[in-house]
A and B are shown apart, each in its own frame.
Chain A
Amino acid sequence: DTAVSQTPKYLVTQMGNDKSIKCEQNLGHDTMYWYKQDSKKFLKIMFSYNNKELIINETVPNRFSPKSPDKAHLNLHINSLELGDSAVYFCASSQGTGYQETQYFGPGTRLLVL
């Protein structure tokens, strides 16, 4: 069974469109994350939810809005997509929020904005 899954795996869309990426974990973890990996492979955290509550909200455009309907899901909605949004987005989860917690990553969603 896949521990952390993301859909879709690939997403190609036009500038200005609105799109969503879904993430689900079946590990029973309390914390979930969204990361953006840019073209230089640098991984940057965007958001983190613990028990459906937002605990990390890094400096990202307001066009990005996370939604956590329950502990097992953390979706990422992006409005008015821009060329610079093209990247690979990784979802992750961990049991807790402390440094000792191991994060488990999904396979990533490759977003290409044309």
Chain B
Amino acid sequence: SQELEQSPQSLIVQEGKNLTINCTSSKTLYGLYWYKQKYGEGLIFLMMLQKGGEEKSHEKITAKLDEKKQQSSLHITASQPSHAGIYLCGAELPSGTYKYIFGTGTRLKVLA
């Protein structure tokens, strides 16, 4: 079973609309990463969250890590076609194990 669940699996929105992608773990996370993969291209690091309640923004993308550090949400405001791609969350399992896990990915399409 997946240790990091993302929802939704796919999302189609009209340009200009806001959207949210969620990443949920059954365990406490020790660092939560968000990546974007453009179709057919490599992964792009978006941001990293460490502390419970932390929130970070990058251009029109905002990510939050809840207080219990078991869920993170990625919010895109006024989506644009350039936001299209696959969004992946990733995290490290208990500190010191050096084991990283990734979510199942969310495929985003933005209609112009």
Interface, chain A (partner B; CB < 8 A)? 33, 40-45, 48, 55-56, 90, 92, 97-100, 102-108
Contacts and interface: CB of A to CB of B under 8 A. Distances in A.
Given A48-B98, A105-B42, A42 B105 contact: yes
Do most interface residues of chain B lie in helix, strand or loop, or is the interface mixed? strand
Looking at B37, B45, B100, the one whose CB has the most chain A CB atoms below 10 A away is: B100
Contacts of A102: 33, 45, 48
A58 to B, nearest CB: 8
B42 A108 contact: yes
Contacts, number: 60
Interface string B77-108: 00000000010101110010011111011010
Contacts of A107: 41-42
Interface residues of B, number: 27
Interface of B: 2, 30-31, 33, 35, 37, 41-45, 48, 50, 86, 88, 90-92, 95, 98-102, 104-105, 107
A44 B91 CA distance: 12
A86 B41 CA distance: 16
A42 to B, nearest CB: 6
Contacts of A90: 42-43
A108 B41 contact: yes
Looking at B43, B48, B92, B95, the one whose CB has the most chain A CB atoms below 10 A away is: B43
Contacts of B41: 107-108
